[in-house]
Amino acid sequence: MCGVVGLIGTPDAAREAFLGLTTLQHRGQDAAGILSYDTDGFHRVKNLGLVDSVFTRENISTLTGNLAIGHARYATIGRGDLGDVQPFLISYPFGIGMAHNGNIVNVGELADDLKVRARRHLLTHSDTEVVLNFFAEGLSKAPPSQPGESELQFEAICSSVGEIYKRVNGSYSIVTLIADQGLVAFRDPNGIRPLVWGSRKTETGRAHMIASESVALNFLGYEIERDIAPGEVVFIDQQGKVFSRVLPISEDAGQRPHRPCMFEWIYFASPESIIDKVPVYGARIGLGKYLGRSIRKLIAERGIEADIIVPVPETSRIAAIALAEELGIPYREVLIKNRYIKRTFILDSQEKRQKAVNLKLSPVRSEIQGKRVLLVDDSIVRGTTSKKIIELVRQAGASKVYFVSTCPPIKNPCYYGIDFPNGSELIAAGRDLAQIEKELGADAVIYQDIEGLQAAIREASSEATGGIQNATPCMACLDGKYPSDISAGARFAASRAQDRKQPNPNASPGSIPAMQSPGATGPKEN
């Protein structure tokens, strides 16, 4: 999972990319980068760390041009070194930069093909570089432009992206910068990862922005045009003209079903965002409401009684409030978060997650002592965080600790951008509820059911927008029904396990040198 932005038609494209990435920081904390373009060529700054530590007033000022893309990285493939930090660049044809949110399941076989058939030497361990090479290869086959035509035709872009749709399995929401041509965005045929487009009036016309979430566009004053559709490619040229098309997977096939990831509404997306016309805040209220209805039955069946409902900050707050209202139990925020600690789930090792939990939360003992506490969290994935929090609350004097998950049991690996491609890591895989309760040390564990999850997402979308009523969320990690071919999943998981064993070197914030655009005579990128 990552955050991407792309801008065209604004003189402050890089500065706006920086601000957009700041609003998307929750999507990736490992690294960040921005690539811009002007008549002097490409300019790039990227490094390990949070957005505001990578970028400074000085290095942003070097990112000149009215065209820029940016990336906030959550490492779900590749290594933790600087070489895997996006955006990536390739010199031919035109000069192309790319930033990607998602995961390519068959990245191994695609990389093999590039090496053997196309004799391309890959410089990183990232699946984005693989997609970039396929995109560039497709554009290089475009016929020469005719007199009076722009150098790059939309048909050539569609042809290149169409080949990607046929060959590349997985999730990908991508923004691409093409030197002297414009901004391209495309979304995988199942629309697993979000991508939204907006525009804003300027003195000379309209500026355009594409981002992972609507919160970034709203913050910068862009009017939401719409979500990029599954299987759609959008091209905005240097004159601000917009071209778009939804591409079929093959000549005799229609579109694949829309399968947006349910984890966006449960955990990843910002509560201010609207994902595929479904408000994240509204969906999380629904999760709490439907949990309340389920818990009401359990109160009688299992004798569960709670004195207070306590959210595990931050993501579960909204659902916990709705749950408290549904059950009529007092809501108390008695786990105080250290705001300077990273989101524990997206840290890349168990050891880091365990240490982060100890630093992240501090209990208010006076409010917990002697009480029966109903803890609410967005999900239980590996169980690392949940177990430590239960221990923390018991040590603070709770007489009973019940643990509630707004997400149903996660039993299957994810290959689409959430970092658990190995099913053996998942606490709910191969365990029944009693075993999970014992492993976590909880007096009871209560999960949302799939019906409640579906209803919460569906009802958050108003009749006026339609929204998710026209799609079925991807719940493969819950039900094992994957929307695309995962035959390469075992190889992908093994590669990810190997990547995690590699050292993650620290780097001080700053810039790195890279190529100029083809034929550029101005300053090198910074």
Residue pLDDT, tens place only, 427-445: 999 999 999 999 999 999 9
Enumerate the domain spans of the chain. Answer: 3-258, 274-482
Tens digit of pLDDT for each residue in 143-190? 877 666 667 899 999 999 999 999 999 999 999 999 999 999 999 999
Distance, in Å, from the CA atom of 328 to the CA atom of 491, rounded to the nearest integer, reads 49
Name the average pLDDT for the chain.
90
Provide the pLDDT for residue 143: 80
Distance, in Å, from the CA atom of 133 to the CA atom of 203, rounded to the nearest integer, reads 37
Query: Residue 325: is its pLDDT beyond 80?
Result: yes
Lowest mean pLDDT among 12-21, 332-341, 426-435: 332-341
Q: Report the chain's terminal Cα–Cα distance, integer Å.
A: 26
Tens digit of pLDDT for each residue in 110-142? 999 999 999 999 999 999 999 999 999 999 998
Distance, in Å, from the CA atom of 37 to the CA atom of 129, rounded to the nearest integer, reads 19
Distances from the Cα of 181 to the Cαs of 8, 67, 98, 397, in angstroms?
Answer: 11, 10, 14, 63
* pLDDT greater at residue 252 or residue 164: 164
Which residue intervals of 461-516 are DSSP H helices?
476-479, 489-500
Query: Residue 248: is its pLDDT beyond 50?
Result: yes
- The b-or-e profile of 308-345 (16+ CB within 10 A means b, else e) is bbbbbbebbbbbbbbbbebbebebbebbeeeeeebbbb
Q: Provide the residue count of the chain.
A: 526
Same fold across 3-258 and 274-482: no
CB 16 within 8 A of CB 55: no
Distance, in Å, from the CA atom of 463 to the CA atom of 273, rounded to the nearest integer, reads 18
Average pLDDT over residues 476-482: 97
Distance, in Å, from the CA atom of 195 to the CA atom of 174, rounded to the nearest integer, reads 8
Distance, in Å, from the CA atom of 32 to the CA atom of 55, rounded to the nearest integer, reads 9
Query: Residue 518: is its pLDDT beyond 70?
Result: no
CB 476 within 8 A of CB 307: no
Query: Residue 313: is its pLDDT beyond 70?
Result: yes
Distance, in Å, from the CA atom of 55 to the CA atom of 217, rounded to the nearest integer, reads 20
DSSP structural state of residue 287:
H
pLDDT band, residue 351 (cuts 50/70/90): low
Q: CA geometry: angle at 365 spanning 361 and 369, to 5°?
A: 130
Provide the pLDDT for residue 470: 67
Lowest mean pLDDT among 72-76, 331-335, 350-354, 510-514: 510-514
* Residue 508, phi then psi, degrees to nearest 5: -80, 150
CB 422 within 8 A of CB 492: no
Nearest-10 Cα torsion for 498, 499, 503, 508: 180
Tens digit of pLDDT for each residue in 353-404? 555 556 689 999 999 999 999 999 999 999 999 999 999 999 999 999 999 9
Provide the pLDDT for residue 516: 30
**274-482 — its CATH code?**
3.40.50.2020
Which residue intervals of 311-375 are DSSP H helices?
317-327, 350-360, 365-368
DSSP structural state of residue 406:
S
Distance, in Å, from the CA atom of 441 to the CA atom of 452, rounded to the nearest integer, reads 25
Q: Of 456, 457, 408, 466, nearest to 433 (Cα)?
A: 408
Query: Tokens standing for 29?
Result: 């904390």
**3-258 — its CATH code?**
3.60.20.10
Distances from the Cα of 131 to the Cαs of 84, 89, 257, 313, 518, in angstroms?
Answer: 14, 12, 22, 36, 20
CB 456 within 8 A of CB 290: yes
Provide the pLDDT for residue 507: 40
CB 335 within 8 A of CB 361: yes
Provide the pLDDT for residue 241: 96
Distance, in Å, from the CA atom of 208 to the CA atom of 222, rounded to the nearest integer, reads 8
Query: Residue 345: is its pLDDT beyond 90?
Result: no
Distance, in Å, from the CA atom of 449 to the CA atom of 356, rounded to the nearest integer, reads 29
Q: Of 200, 210, 171, nearest to 188 (Cα)?
A: 171
Q: Of 391, 340, 336, nearest to 366 (Cα)?
A: 336
Maximal C-alpha separation, the chain: 81
pLDDT band, residue 266 (cuts 50/70/90): very high
Other Cβ atoms less than 10 A from the Cβ of 398: the count is: 25
Q: What percent of the chain has pLDDT over 70?
A: 88
The three-class DSSP label of residue 485 is coil
Tens digit of pLDDT for each residue in 194-206? 999 999 999 989 9
CB 134 within 8 A of CB 167: yes
Provide the pLDDT for residue 250: 63
Q: CA geometry: angle at 258 spanning 414 and 158, to 5°?
A: 100
DSSP structural state of residue 474:
B
Query: Tokens standing for 159?
Result: 């042809």
Distance, in Å, from the CA atom of 239 to the CA atom of 60, rounded to the nearest integer, reads 24
Other Cβ atoms less than 10 A from the Cβ of 115: the count is: 12
Query: Residue 514: is its pLDDT beyond 60?
Result: no
CB 82 within 8 A of CB 511: no
Distance, in Å, from the CA atom of 501 to the CA atom of 514, rounded to the nearest integer, reads 27
Query: Residue 498: is its pLDDT beyond 60?
Result: yes
Provide the pLDDT for residue 509: 40
Q: What percent of the chain has pLDDT over 90?
A: 79
2 has catalytic annotation: yes
How, if at all, do strands 205-211 and 196-202 pair? antiparallel
